[in-house]
Chains A and B, each alone.
Chain A
Amino acid sequence: DIQMTQSPSSLSASVGDRVTITCQASQDISNYLNWYQQKPGKAPKLLIYDASNLETGVPSRFSGSGSGTDFTFTISSLQPEDIATYYCQQYDNLPRTFGQGTKVEIK
Chain B
Amino acid sequence: EVQLVESGGGLVQPGGSLRLSCAASGFTFSSYWMSWVRQAPGKGLEWVANIKQDGSEKYYVDSVKGRFTISRDNAKNSLYLQMNSLRAEDTAVYYCARGSYRWEYWGQGTLVTVSS
List chain A positions with a Cβ less than 8 A from chain B: 1, 32, 34, 36, 38, 43-46, 49, 55, 87, 89, 91, 94-101
Given contacts A43-B106, A43-B109, A98-B47, contact A91 B101 (CB under 8 A): yes
Residues of A within 8 A of B102 (CB): 34, 46, 49, 91
- Residues of B near A36 (CB, < 8 A) are 45, 103
Known: A44-B95, A87-B44, A96-B35. 18 other contacts (CB 8 A): A1-B62, A32-B101, A36-B45, A36-B103, A38-B45, A43-B109, A44-B45, A46-B102, A46-B103, A89-B47, A91-B102, A94-B59, A95-B47, A95-B59, A96-B47, A96-B50, A97-B47, A98-B47
Complex Cα gap A83–B95 (Å): 22
Bound complex: CA A62 to CA B50 (Å): 28
Q: Interface on B for A, CB 8 Å cutoff?
A: 35, 37, 44-47, 50, 59-62, 95, 100-104, 106-109
Give the residue of B45, B60, B101, B109 whose beta carbon is less than 8 angstroms from that of A87. B45
- Nearest-Cβ distance from residue B55 to partner chain A, whole angstroms: 17
Contact of B44 among A43, A46, A49, A98 (CB under 8 A): A98
Q: Return chain B residues, CB-CB under 8 Å to A97.
A: 47
A98 and B37 CA atoms in complex are apart in Å by: 11
Q: Which residues of B contact A101 (CB under 8 A)?
A: 44-45
A–B Cβ pairs within 8 angstroms, 24 of them: A1-B62, A32-B101, A36-B45, A43-B106, A43-B108, A43-B109, A44-B45, A44-B106, A45-B106, A46-B103, A49-B102, A89-B45, A89-B47, A91-B102, A94-B59, A95-B47, A95-B59, A95-B60, A95-B61, A96-B50, A96-B101, A98-B44, A100-B44, A101-B45
